[in-house]
Chain A
Amino acid sequence: MACINPDGTLTSSGLAMLSALKTPITLEEVAQVAGLPLFRGRSGVRDIIAGGLVEEEGVKYSLTELGKQRLETQ
């Protein structure tokens, strides 16, 4: 995964995306705030959803409890 290291810690792009998601935002906003091209935003969000760190709420995305914990401990 491009956003989560094999040991479960976040990569720099993963951390940037999770930090961008402190409040629910759209995928386009995640990419913009994290400073990533849109295609990286899309693939990255897929990664962190699969890792249980983020969930989809309609057109917006927000941190799960696990995502909030990971962000605090990173």
Chain B
Amino acid sequence: MEEKIGIEEEKKQTMPRLGEPAPAFEAVTTQGVIRLEDFKGSWLILFSHPADFTPVCTTEFMGFAEIHGELQKRGVELLGLSIDSVYSHIAWMRNIEEKMGVKIPFPVIADLNKEVANLYGMVMPGESKTETSRCVFVMDPEGILRAMIYYPLTTGRNMQEILRLIDALQTTDKHQVATPANWKPGEPVIVPPPNTQEMAEQRLKEGYECTDWYLCRKNL
């Protein structure tokens, strides 16, 4: 019976796709009832954590609070989520402030019925049927899902990588370029590969730093 319930619940889960509108929701949070559409016009990072009052999650929340100011400078809002009650969230956030001296400035969804978790495929039954994994979904100001990161329960996320990802996405949008491996702001970016032979020949004359016709870099 329990197995049957598990399978049915697994079936209810959907996976969002990059480049498509992020699934809409309305949810109870620590800052009131919030809808996804409330973030229209801003970038949004929706992230999940396995459970309140757990050690790795506490370090991650402190990490997200630490980069909150940098995210705000980039026009990015943060929204957390776990399968806990709003009272648990409030108690945990107060505890983090009292014991660690860190105030959590962003809202956190209390997703007790797993509605949002299932909509975004945040529960990985192979790891845990009752907790969300460490997921990160980046939505742009139009509400399009632009990036996803999934980490297991055991491994805390890298906040600098999340900032780097935002910088890369915003640079791509602003300059219509791509970013190479390990790219950081200020470093050369990649000019999109040519689609025709004519474009391939043309770009070699444009002063880019080209290793070959398909790999050209430029400074912004």
Contacts and interface: CB of A to CB of B under 8 A. Distances in A.
Interface of A: 1-3, 37-40, 42-44, 46-47
A37 B38 CA distance: 10
Nearest to A41: B38
A39 B32 contact: no
Interface string B4-47: 00000000000000000000000000011111011101100000
B77 interface: yes
B31 A2 contact: yes
Say which size band chain B's interface belongs to.
Answer: 10 to 19
A4 to B, nearest CB: 10
**Overall SS of chain A's interface:** helix
B33 A38 contact: no
14 contacts: A1-B33, A2-B31, A38-B38, A39-B34, A39-B42, A40-B32, A40-B38, A42-B38, A43-B33, A43-B35, A44-B32, A46-B33, A47-B32, A47-B33
A34 to B, nearest CB: 13
A43 B32 contact: yes
**Overall SS of chain B's interface:** mixed
Contacts of A38: 38-39, 41-42
A53 B42 CA distance: 27
B69 to A, nearest CB: 13
A39 B41 CA distance: 9
Nearest to B41: A38
